[in-house]
Structure 1
Amino acid sequence: MTLTFWFDVHSPWCYLAAHRIGDLARKHKRELLWRPLHLPTMADQINGRRPLEANPAFVAWYQQDLQDWAALQKLNVHYHSHYPLRNSRALRACLWAAEQNKAESFVKRVLLGYWAEEGDISSLDQLALWAGDCGLDGEAVKAAAQSETYKAQVASNTQEAIARGVFGVPTVDTGTKLYFGNDRLDLLDLHLTSQPI
């Protein structure tokens, strides 16, 4: 069973889940594919969830829940002062990093930068610096972030995810079941425990 981790750097829940999913896959000796998609496009196409546009009581609970999960995972999380920043360059860079077998470290670095350090995910220079933190070539990351090929791949990923029934991120796809949300990774763990290799 291969696990597919569908994510977008726009989501704080992807930030939290990205810090768990690698260890979970290793625990169960499963291959893990890091697949970025364009969440705003998905939401537009399927009339998807927009939690921050819900009623005030839900938004207040949602923000509390986010902070509670972050505290549980010992991570700091807050919305960028200019949220939402354009995500396309970061998503393309994540695709390139995955091709270099550095998806986990780079995606986690980008998410940490955006969700805990006020980093600019739309800045080529910032992406290059984060790439250097992960042992990647900054200039190559800049090129990937502007690549039409990777732009098309993100669009293709988004359509593939929709076809699979993905409606939000983070989602882990086992091939037969979908687990949506950072808080469903415990259920994924239980499922994988019941599905020995």
Structure 2
Amino acid sequence: MAHIDYFFSAVSPYVYLAGQRLEEVARRHGATITYRPLDPAQLFARTGGQPLAQRHESRKAYRLQELTRQSRKRRLPLQLHPAFWPVNPAPSGYAIIAAQAAGGGDLGALAHGLARACWAENRDIADDAVIRDCLAAAGFDPAIADRGLLAAAETYGVNLEEAVSRGAFGVPFYITGDQLFWGQDRIEDLDLHLSGKL
């Protein structure tokens, strides 16, 4: 059975634009997914990337065009300048880690719900009430947000180290076996690989 390690952060617009296509691919191939939220700024710093504020103006302008095109292509509403962004990625990451450990809900819906809250709904995904609401909407006990924070923080750090050691350098990043796929626009390639066609 195929397995996919998914390195991501709900603060990334490209994670939001991925929607739940990863979960659709996994279902199609009977693959399992481990959700590995991490801090993308730390991943960039460790692997040669630059945070948005430090990028050249031409790269910033292209990013806005690309986000607009991809949101239209995917038919997902997107706020180019969300009210609560930049935002601390740790609280939402901890909630996903705690939910994965607890079980009982839909992790794909939780990850997408948090990203949607940031990028389409102008909600603060570092706020406890927003996190609890997203947990409940995805079928988890909202009280998960209050439990296991120390363990979640430890896993959050481990996810970063694993991402770096396995060759990930951005989000969303998908790894299955020795094959690496970077970006929401590579989910189709992941699908083809799992089909044995690529």
Tell me the TM-score normalised to structure 2 length.
0.90
**Matched residues, percent identical?**
25
Map 1:13-24; keep pairs closer than 5 Å: 13-24=14-25
Taking structure 1 as reference, are residues 102 and 141 closer, same or farther at Cα in structure 2, changes over 3 Å only?
A: farther
Post-superposition shift, 1:195?
6.3
Cα distance in 2 for residues equivalent to 1:173 and 1:116: 27
1:16-165 paired onto structure 2 within 5 Å: 16-51=17-52, 53-78=54-79, 79-99=81-101, 100=103, 102-144=106-148, 147-165=149-167
Aligned residues: 194
1:176 corresponding residue in structure 2: 178
Q: C-alpha separation between the residues in 1 aligned to 2:121 and 2:19?
A: 16
How far apart are the structure 1 equivalents of 2:84 and 2:117? 14
Judge which range, 37-46 or 163-172, deviates more. 37-46
Structure 1 CA distance for aligned equivalents of residues 5 and 93 of structure 2: 16
Structure 2: gaps spanning 5 or more residues: none
Aligned residue for 2:76, secondary structure, equals coil
Aligned amino acid, residue 148 of structure 1: L
Determine if contact 1:37/1:91 at 8 Å carries over to the other structure: yes
The residue identity in structure 2 corresponding to 1:9 is A
- What is the aligned partner in structure 2 of residue 191 from structure 1? 193
In structure 1, runs of 5+ residues without a counterpart are none
Displacement of 1:55 in angstroms is 2.1
**Deviation larger for 33-42 or 84-93:** 33-42
CA distance in 1, matches of 2:59, 2:42: 23
Q: Secondary structure at the match of 1:35?
A: strand
TM-score, L = length of structure 1: 0.91
**CA distance, structure 2, for counterparts of residue 19 and residue 72 of structure 1:** 15
Cα deviation, residue 45, structure 1: 2.3
Distance 1:195 1:154 in 2: 34
RMSD between superposed Cα atoms in Å: 1.8
Three-state SS of the structure 1 residue aligned to 2:11 is coil
Distance 1:19 1:108, change over 3 A: same
State the shift of 1:46 in Å. 2.5
- Specify the code of the residue in structure 1 equivalent to 2:165: A
